[in-house]
Amino acid sequence: MEELYKEINERFSKFLLKLEEKDCPVITVKREGFLDFIEFLKDFGFKHLIDLCGVDYLNYKPEKKEERFEVVYHLYNFEKRALIRVKVPIPESDCWQYSLTFLWETSNWFERECWDMFGIKFKGHPDLRRLLMPEDWEGFPLRKDYPLYLEEDKEWKGYKELKRKTKGEHS
Amino acid sequence: MSTTLIEITSKQRNSNSWEEPFFINMGPQHPSTHGVLRLVLELEGETIVHCDPRIGYLHRGVEKLAENLNYNQTVVLSDRLDYIASAANNVAFCLAFEKLFGLEVPRRAKLLRTIVGEMARISSHLLWLATHALDIGAMTVFLYCFRDREWLLNIFEKICGARLTHSYVRVGGVRLDFTQEIIDELYKFTEEFPNRILEYETLIDVNRIWLKRTIDIAVVTAEKAINLGLTGPVLRGSGVPYDVRKFRPYDAYSEVEFEVPVGERGDTYDRYKVRMKELRQSNWIIRQCLDKLAETKGEPVLAEGAPDLLIPEKIKEPEPKPHPKKGFIFTGKEVDVVPPGEAFASIESPKGELAVYVVSDGSNKPWRLRIRTPSFVHISAIPELSRGYMIADLIAIIGTLDVVLGDCDR
Amino acid sequence: MDFNSLYIILSALVLFLLAMFHVAYLTYAERKIIARMQQRLGPNRVGPRGILQPIADVLKLIQKEDIIHPGVDKPVFVMAPLISLVCAASGLAFIPLWENFVLSNLNVGLLFILALSSLSAYGVILSGWASNSRYSFLGALRASAQVISYEIAMSLSLLSVVLMAGSFNLQDIVKAQLSTPYKVYLIPQIVAFFVFMVSALAETNRVPFDLPEAETELVAGYFTEYSGIRFALFYLAEYFGMIVMSALAVTCFLGGYAGPFEIPGIPFFWFLIKIYAFLFFYIWVRATLPRYRYDQLMGLGWKVLIPLSLLNLLVTAFIKLLI
């Protein structure tokens, strides 16, 4: 791992925001240099993209986050048996991230889910549709300002129409 | 259906030839899509040109719900993910939370967790074999497998009172210790089970039709499998010996012996073989753990300082000040229930790698809980795997990936 | 009404009742036998040991709502199950159940049965087409392709029997068998028998060739959209088909109604025993084998069974010439 740190510090110091050692190495990078960085990691041997997810840090109390969102990647190296976590902060006003579909096909659905749940757009994604929610859903459920419970007709605009239709058919 | 029609018309508008693509809407109610998976298939004859899985019919928003429930309540949600092997899900959640809480689980609890985890693996693989064989048309295997799964579920019932949604594992250990009756029953099971595996294998192992239906179907090379994010038996069927139990041992896996079976060609038959071998390995692991249980008899099964089932919002640090009349009063400052931070834990669930990433803000509820489920990734690979095969093969492919839609949609 | 026509009506009634009874209890037997093979109980609620289950099933199916959804081609949709059933069931009329009992001793009885069983494919195709459903359509396509290609293999294998007997009349075929040293055509025509059995499985859409109604692939194949009594008609047609094919196998290969010794007082005894053996075989296969894939099934039909039966026919013809 030392050589990885060394190389990261040498090559990506410009984009590196933070390098911590928690339960696994946690590397926070800027969005600008992210693609090069992740390609470097893949070449380094981190071939298995375990997970890709978004986190919303709206009003996160323990520490002040610069940006509202974070996209978190978990990568795994089979040879060295090493796990690594890469975090990329995403500002709310400019809410997009680079897509990794050209490197990992598995990131396709992860990114679609992330868009579905947080509204983070992925640049370069071939097919960015909603995945878990219905196609005409409004709002992004996993954002912290999205309420847990809403009236049905407020939650989904198709609900009213559906209700009217069923009523119309019965009467 | 409406979207499908829109697609047809748009395709027609864009295509140069007059032929209408034959779309078929498989699911969400279909005998062999294992729940509510919906596949929009574009066919040419019976060959699949394109397959577009639509998921979300079982989306219950577990990740959102978890943000509003405390840690111990969240473990109960995990039962509902992969309801075939809920003990494995419990373990994954608890491992992540224990990392946050900084708890060390007692050895006996670790052994018990390993046992229920492997029991979950056996019961999941039995269900997989049953439905996979039924999908391909071998009806008898189905009932043979269910007979033995029933036995296992009865043991689960003795362990924790539930057959499917156990919630047996809890943060810091397990809920209850095994009684002697359960241990005896498990010994009997592990004694008998290898013979039962032989029974299934006689039915289909060298059956010509079975071979024809599985060999060279949905071949995935090792590189492709890693790229697609496939894990578990599907990845091992392609020859990559990646098993979280070996690579990042959790619970008691570091102290038991077992092999990681791998396949060669990466086709459906190899994956079948890998799973059958895994059944034997799981049986062998349970056996070893049972032997080790005798050594730890009487030890606690819950870590000291494990959180109560109802975790309070904030803990008042007890600063025992002697009170003139009442003995003590607690006038300490409020501290966090759990240190803020993040934790990641992954386990080898029967279907693949189940990873849990949890971010805490110090309160009794997770700030963000991310669950990476194997079924989700495996379903995302269906379009790639099924291209160019026939409908009948698609059934075999869904079967061989071993997906559970509760696991996929969360 | 003269005596002759009364006799015909009476014997038709006997045949019909016998066949209906057998179809009803064939479903019961199938469920019980498969249940036993799969270590479960099978039907055991209606009557002692579930013996009244078929009757309960029929009553239930008659009561059910007959759904004809708006997209269907109604006349064809209504007619299709009848075509299937009639074609499947009327084959029984030409089978000699006993020395003195054959409803219609037609000179080209065998040919007629073959023709009827190919016609029953129309029921399947029409139902698939009229349902206006994609699953039904795929099922119907599969069924027509399968029935047509296996028809050839089956006819060729039966042709060698015809060559041996020198007649298309089923009664004559039985008599010709009895005059041979083995008393059955099973031994000289073992290849034809094998081909016939496999193609009979395919012809009646039974496991492992039940692709047209492959439950796990096409929901229910061509009768996905049918319900109630119409669904029951298709079901009946399948079981009638099984019985006709078994009867044909018994007649052409196993010496028909003849047995090693005469049992007085029980007509059809040997015939029924032989038929039961065949039906048990059908059920046994269903409990054992997985399902073929569509292209593998066609490959088996065209690349193995048809050449085999052709070869068998040629050899039979040569031997016939030499003797």
Domains recognised in chain A with CATH numbers: 2-136 (3.30.460.80)
Residue A111 touches chain B, beta carbons under 8 Å:
no
We report the CATH number of the domain holding residue B271 as 1.10.645.10
Instruction: Classify A71 as helix, strand or coil.
Output: strand
A105 to chain B nearest CA, in Å? Answer: 5
Is pLDDT of B13 > 70?
Answer: no
Is pLDDT of B327 > 70?
Answer: no
Q: Which residue of A has its CA nearest to B3?
A: A135
Is pLDDT of B32 > 60?
Answer: yes
Is pLDDT of B352 > 80?
Answer: yes
Out of B24, B138, B147, whose CB is closest to C39? B147
- Rg (chain C; Cα; Å): 20
Distance CA B234, CA C177 (A): 57
Contact between A105 and B63 using a beta-carbon 8 Å cutoff: no
Residue B324 touches chain C, beta carbons under 8 Å:
no
Name B31's Cβ contacts closer than 8 Å, sequence gap at least 6: C215, C216, C219
- Please provide the distance, in angstroms rounded to a whole number, between the alpha carbons at the two ends of chain A: 71
Give domain status of residue B143, yes or no: yes
Is pLDDT of A90 > 70?
Answer: yes
Angle, alpha carbons B327-B331-B336 (nearest 5°): 130
Residue B162 touches chain C, beta carbons under 8 Å:
no
C160 shares a domain with C216? yes
Dump the DSSP string for C12-34: HHHHHHHHHHHHHHHHHHHHHHH
In sequence order, which ranges of A23-92 are alpha helices (DSSP H)? 34-44
C273 shares a domain with C134? yes
Is pLDDT of A171 > 50?
Answer: no
Positions of chain C with pLDDT lower than 70, given as ranges: 1, 213-216, 265, 267
Instruction: Work out how many domains chain C is built from and give that number.
Output: 2
C182 to chain B nearest CA, in Å? Answer: 33
Is pLDDT of B198 > 60?
Answer: yes
A105 contact residues in B (CB cutoff 8 A): 227-229, 381, 384
Instruction: Classify C260 as helix, strand or coil.
Output: coil
Which one of C46, C63, C80 terminates a domain?
A: C63
C52 shares a domain with C76? no
Residue B212 belongs to what domain range? Answer: 61-305+338-366
Instruction: Work out how many domains chain B is built from and give that number.
Output: 1
Give domain status of residue B406, yes or no: no
Question: By the 8 A CB rule, do B382 and B37 touch?
Answer: no
Question: By the 8 A CB rule, do A25 and A6 touch?
Answer: no
Q: Which residue of C has its CA nearest to B44?
A: C138
Out of B139, B390, B392, whose CB is closest to C287? B139
Is pLDDT of B227 > 60?
Answer: yes
pLDDT score recorded for residue B4 = 53
Q: To which H or E segment does residue C160 belong? A: helix C134-165
On whether ipTM exceeds 0.85, the answer is yes
Question: By the 8 A CB rule, do C114 and C241 touch?
Answer: no
pLDDT score recorded for residue B397 = 87
Angle, alpha carbons B222-B224-B230 (nearest 5°): 80
Instruction: Classify A76 as helix, strand or coil.
Output: strand
Per-residue pLDDT band for B2 (boundaries 50, 70, 90) equals very low
Q: Which residue of A has its CA nearest to B240?
A: A78
B143 to chain C nearest CA, in Å? Answer: 6
pLDDT score recorded for residue A161 = 80
pLDDT score recorded for residue B330 = 56
C109 shares a domain with C5? no
Q: Which residue of A has its CA nearest to B55?
A: A132
C9 shares a domain with C105? no
A65-87 pLDDT, tens digit per residue, is 778 888 888 888 888 888 888 88
Distance CA C86, CA C91 (A): 9
Distance CA B395, CA B399 (A): 6
Give domain status of residue B268, yes or no: yes
Say whether the C–A interface has 3 or more Cβ pairs within 8 Å: no
Of B1 and C317, more confident:
C317
What is the average pLDDT across A154-171?
Answer: 74
Distance CA B398, CA B394 (A): 6
Distance CA B65, CA B78 (A): 11
What are the tokens at C192?
């034809």
C37 shares a domain with C101? no
Distance CA A85, CA A76 (A): 9
C139 shares a domain with C14? no
B387-401 pLDDT, tens digit per residue, is 888 888 888 888 888
Percent of all residues in chain B with a pLDDT value above 70, rounded to a whole number: 89
Give domain status of residue B385, yes or no: no
A132 contact residues in B (CB cutoff 8 A): 55-56, 59, 409-410
Which one of C63, C91, C106 terminates a domain?
A: C63
**Nearest by Cα to C235 from C261, C257, C204:** C204
Per-residue pLDDT band for B202 (boundaries 50, 70, 90) equals confident
Is pLDDT of A146 > 50?
Answer: yes
Distance CA C97, CA C319 (A): 30
C275 to chain B nearest CA, in Å? Answer: 24
Total length of chain A: 171
Residue C58 belongs to what domain range? Answer: 1-63
Please, what is the angle between helix C269-288 and helix C3-37, to 10°? 30
SS (H, E, C) chain B: CHHHHHHHHHHHHHCCCCCCCEEEEECCCCCCCCCCCEEEEEEECCEEEEEEEECCCCCCCHHHHHCCCCHHHHHHHHHCCCCCCHHHHHHHHHHHHHHHHCCCCCHHHHHHHHHHHHHHHHHHHHHHHHHHHHHHCCHHHHHHHHHHHHHHHHHHHHHHCCCCCCCCEECCEECCCCCHHHHHHHHHHHHHHHHHHHHHHHHHCCCHHHHHHHCCCCCCCHHHHHHCCCCCHHHHHCCCCCCHHHHCCCCCHHHCCCCCCCCCCCCHHHHHHHHHHHHHHHHHHHHHHHHHHHHCCCCCCECCCCCCCCCCCCEECCCEEEECCCEEEECCCEECCCCCEEEEEEEEECCEEEEEEEEECCCCCEEEEEEECHHHHHHHCHHHHHCCCEHHHHHHHHHHHCCCHHHHHC
Give domain status of residue B132, yes or no: yes
Contact between C296 and B210 using a beta-carbon 8 Å cutoff: no
In sequence order, which ranges of A13-106 are alpha helices (DSSP H)? 34-44
Residues in a beta bridge with B170: B173
Taking CB atoms and an 8 Å cut-off, how many pairs form between chains A and B? Answer: 94
B65-95 pLDDT, tens digit per residue, is 888 888 888 888 888 888 888 888 888 888 8
C248 shares a domain with C118? yes
How far, in whole angstroms, is CA C199 from its chain's centroid? 11
Mean of the per-residue pLDDT values of chain B:
83
Distance CA B33, CA B395 (A): 8
* Residue B109 CB burial class (10 angstroms; 0-12, 13-18, ≥19): buried
* Residue B153 CB burial class (10 angstroms; 0-12, 13-18, ≥19): middle
Q: Tell me which of B342, B373, B408 to substitute to probe the interface with A (most A C-beta atoms closer than 10 Å).
A: B342
Give domain status of residue B20, yes or no: no
Contact between A74 and B226 using a beta-carbon 8 Å cutoff: no
C250 shares a domain with C120? yes
Give domain status of residue B314, yes or no: no
Residues in a beta bridge with B346: B355
Placement of tokens 């025993």 in the chain? C273
| Identity of the amino acid at C67 | I
Which partners does chain B have (≥3 C-beta pairs < 8 Å)?
A, C
pLDDT score recorded for residue C10 = 85
pLDDT score recorded for residue C248 = 87
CB atoms within 10 A of CB A13: 10
Per-residue pLDDT band for B5 (boundaries 50, 70, 90) equals low
CB atoms within 10 A of CB A121: 16
Pairing of β B169-170 and β B47-54 = unpaired
Backbone angles phi, psi at B200, to 5 degrees: -65, -40
pLDDT score recorded for residue A28 = 86
- The CB-side HSE value for C34 (13 A sphere, CA atoms) comes to 22
| Identity of the amino acid at A63 | E
**Nearest by Cα to B254 from B289, B283, B281:** B289
Distance CA C185, CA B23 (A): 49
C50 shares a domain with C81? no
C141 shares a domain with C9? no
What pTM was computed for the model? 0.85
Q: Which residue of A has its CA nearest to B99?
A: A23
Contact between C290 and B133 using a beta-carbon 8 Å cutoff: yes
Per-residue pLDDT band for B323 (boundaries 50, 70, 90) equals low
- How far is CA B202 from each of CA B6, B140, B144, B191, C72, rounded to the nearest angstrom? 49, 12, 12, 19, 46
Residue A82 touches chain B, beta carbons under 8 Å:
no
Which one of C63, C80, C113 terminates a domain?
A: C63
Q: Tell me which of B5, B361, B371, B401 to substitute to probe the interface with A (most A C-beta atoms closer than 10 Å).
A: B361
